[in-house]
Amino acid sequence: MNWRQIFLVLQREYLTRVKSKGFIWATILVPIGFVVFVGIVFFISIWESDTTFEIGILDETGVMAEALTELNPARYVDYSSLSADSLRSLVQQEEITGFIQMDEENIEAGKNLELIYSGSGGIQLLTSIRTDMREVIRQERLRRANVSPEIRQIYDASIQVDSRRLTRTGDEQDDDTIFLSIIGMIMGIVIFGAIFSYGGYVTRGVIEEKTSRIIEVIVSSVKPIELLTGKMAGVGALALTQFTVWILAFLGLTAVMGPVAAMVMDPAEGLANTELSEAQSEIPALLDLPAIDTSLFVYFIIFFVLGYLLYSSLFAAIGSASDSETDTQQLMLPVGAPIFIAYFIMLHTWRSPDSTLSVVSSIIPFFSPILMITRIAITEVPFWQIGLSILLMILTFAGTMWLSARIYKIGILSYGNSVGFKDLYRWIRQ
């Protein structure tokens, strides 16, 4: 191995790609996309309750309509003076969304209520109507049962579980499990996508050298293993460049997002007072993201790099055995399958990071890059598991690289025949 040659190859692979328009655009557009996404979520949260659905109440008890209109004046309207038939026609004319008829039996005997409505509003409307009804009926029953205020208070109390994490070192922290679960899942998905896209760069790079027929000129100066190493390192450096830009952009954007959002909120005075205060209380929840440990980013880079090396060595071998991108499909299957399996396991892991399936799969080298990072983000992974998975990935990489180098050195000079697994096996043994 001659490091000067490897470096020259690396430099070419890196520079020709980093200057390409596609790369520059992708690097810029992803953070912009992130801002747009957060922006959309933010504005949705402000103007969420824009549309109101009017529900008519045909009350025969004389108390329920009042309780409901008090609870949500925008939604419930007392139509007790009208008949059920006229309310039906109001619904049909779309004057109101729906109506509910209530009598003593609903309160005393627990008879089911019936909502007659046009069907608009969706599950969210149904759920909130159901909650409202339970609430007013329960209140009325308690009142009629002459329950003492103390007991009513007991019923009113809604107990929440606040969770705090106690770390091994004895620190107690605010628990960000939900946030971290999402981060873990995102990191898993990003590595999944990155392995495929940068692996694809490597495959296409190898095929390009074959189809343009420059490969033989190159290998008359460089050993195939040096070319392979330089190529993988060059594309890897490209990936790290992109991730560095993205991570910095992410950290920078999350830091300025809170203040910016507050500035945006000020001119929004047109909103009703109650709504404004309600919205303001929601913003911090959305934008005041818990800090992500730097070590998580370090692990992310480590697992990405190892996963990239592991898979891109195989992707390079596939490229060398193919004459065109369409040729790669058959060979791509066994390499792509483990990545997809890892992805599907990840959809389980992010909800249950400590299950046996999650733990065992995260140590299997072909799954580790996706699953271990998801677990590290969410839960306290014992260090031996992290260490073991890293060690196994390094060993596996040594194996795939050896295999790939043998295929590559023969594949790059073979043209014309569609190569199957039998041929690859023969090349490896040659």
Show contacts with other proteins in window 81-100 (CB under 8 A).
none
Query: Considering only residues 208, 288, 293, 380, which one is a binding residue for other proteins as defined by CB under 8 A?
Result: 208
Residue 222 interacts with other proteins (CB under 8 A): yes or no: yes
Residue 216 interacts with other proteins (CB under 8 A): yes or no: yes
337 three-state secondary structure:
helix
Query: Considering only residues 143, 144, 165, 426, which one is a binding residue for other proteins as defined by CB under 8 A?
Result: 426
Q: Identify which range of 69-77, 118-126, 210-218, 288-296 contacts other proteins by CB under 8 A.
A: 210-218
Residue 16 interacts with other proteins (CB under 8 A): yes or no: yes
The pair of structure tokens assigned to 344 is 């599907």
Query: Considering only residues 88, 204, 223, 348, which one is a binding residue for other proteins as defined by CB under 8 A?
Result: 223
Q: How far is the CB of 345 from other proteins (least distance, A)?
A: 39
Termini Cα distance of the chain? 21
Q: How far is the CB of 215 from other proteins (least distance, A)?
A: 8
Label residues 197-232 b or e (16+ Cβ within 10 Å = b).
ebbbbbbebbbebbeeeebeebbeebebbbbbbbbb
Query: Considering only residues 142, 219, 296, 403, which one is a binding residue for other proteins as defined by CB under 8 A?
Result: 219
Residue 2 interacts with other proteins (CB under 8 A): yes or no: yes
354 three-state secondary structure:
coil
Label residues 244-264 b or e (16+ Cβ within 10 Å = b).
eebeebeeeebeebeeebeee
State how far the Cα of 199 lies from the Cα of 304, in Å rounded to an integer: 12
Q: How many residues in the shown chain lie near other proteins by CB under 8 A? A: 23
Q: Identify which range of 80-88, 192-200, 204-212, 277-285 contacts other proteins by CB under 8 A.
A: 204-212
State how far the Cα of 319 lies from the Cα of 327, in Å rounded to an integer: 9
Query: Considering only residues 38, 82, 113, 218, which one is a binding residue for other proteins as defined by CB under 8 A?
Result: 218
Residue 415 interacts with other proteins (CB under 8 A): yes or no: yes
Q: Identify which range of 220-228, 258-266, 373-381, 391-399 contacts other proteins by CB under 8 A.
A: 220-228
Among residues 19, 8, 9, 23, the alpha carbon closest in space to that of 239 is found at 23
State how far the Cα of 165 lies from the Cα of 178, in Å rounded to an integer: 13
Find out whether 233 and 10 touch, Cβ atoms under 8 Å.
Answer: yes
Residue 221 interacts with other proteins (CB under 8 A): yes or no: yes
**Taking the mean position of all CA atoms in its chain, how far away is CA 227?**
36
Find out whether 105 and 33 touch, Cβ atoms under 8 Å.
Answer: no
Residue bearing tokens 């040096």? 226
76 three-state secondary structure:
strand
Residue 237 interacts with other proteins (CB under 8 A): yes or no: no
Please count the CA atoms within 13 angstroms of the CA of 217 that sit on its side-chain side. 6
Query: Considering only residues 36, 41, 214, 255, which one is a binding residue for other proteins as defined by CB under 8 A?
Result: 214
Residue whose CB is less far from other proteins, 5 or 80: 5
State how far the Cα of 47 lies from the Cα of 257, in Å rounded to an integer: 19
Residue whose CB is less far from other proteins, 158 or 430: 430
Q: How far is the CB of 11 from other proteins (least distance, A)?
A: 8
Give Cβ neighbours of residue 364 (< 8 Å, ≥ 6 apart). Answer: 392
Q: How far is the CB of 400 from other proteins (least distance, A)?
A: 23
Q: How far is the CB of 401 from other proteins (least distance, A)?
A: 20
Residue 213 interacts with other proteins (CB under 8 A): yes or no: yes
Binding site for other proteins (CB under 8 A): 2, 5, 8-9, 12, 16, 208-209, 212-214, 216-223, 413, 415, 426, 430
